[in-house]
Structure 1
């Protein structure tokens, strides 16, 4: 009898304590989530009054593709044809085609693993001087960020993957220099590293390029 009474007392005391611990933990987690979701205070009322907005992936996916419903730009493709195209329909400007004029071309000889590597180059992109980034590959998170920026801000950027031989061929056309991801991480991006495409027209399968490179001799 005494043993059973001990069990009953233990349950009577332990269950409320367990429920209380669960409630306290849930409240703590909810407070932490709210703090993480809110903008940190900077100590300046003018700054703290500016509450940033956050765009979810669902909201990005709900936006229309840039240029996805328009007709392709008129006129035949001209220039040198290359056997690679842009990596996603979101990089198109008109009807599935990315049609750019006077584009800066950034060539990377290995994989782009983080968006940090591209922050400097992306800051140079303008409607008057769009940016083409050609790399061996892009990390899925980087590609997703570039696509989101296309949909939300219409950032004038096209992402392309090319193998080493194709990169060398492109360099012959547009000039510039094939950099490494280590160069980008170190912030080394000299003016002579940029290529220039007078005309760039790509779809998901191929690209036509008119370059501005003048081979020496």
Structure 2
């Protein structure tokens, strides 16, 4: 069946088959969080985006082929509750945005700055530092050499708007500016967006609404 990105806690993961990369999306707790297992087709190496919760579910998706690394997109607790258990079970190397690392209770082996690359197998992800939802939130860009980019946004970009900035006008302005400059201004409409909660979207679906988001202030 074609990938839809529609998953539910306790339900079946959805698998997005790309030429060089397989993306498995699974929903876990505690707040209908999304986790994404990325697998390099050439080498079989795997990488996890957000060990949010339900370690047993995540380890079942990982399977017996091991886990090279896990990135925590930001410091909020609903995105790292299974991190310790997953790392203890797999020995995966930990990544997170530098400014958020001290708020994550599992030590970060590789702090990420804007533009840093993460490699597993033959796959390369580029970190984009987006300030506003948290000080050190990162999105990860996979620039598919055989197609359009794929973007893992954590809680910085969703269908219908940027992430929650808790009524702070400065934080909202910062997040919208970073999302605009580092994502919308440099990536094409076809870019597939995998958010930290809920359904997927594309930059093209969201781009017409940037002015509306700026006007409403959230």
Give the TM bin, normalised by the shorter chain.
under 0.3
Normalised to the residue count of structure 2, the TM-score between the two structures is 0.24
**Larger relative contact order (Cα-Cα within 8 Å, sequence gap ≥ 6):** 1
Point out the structure with the larger strand share: 2
Higher helix share: 1
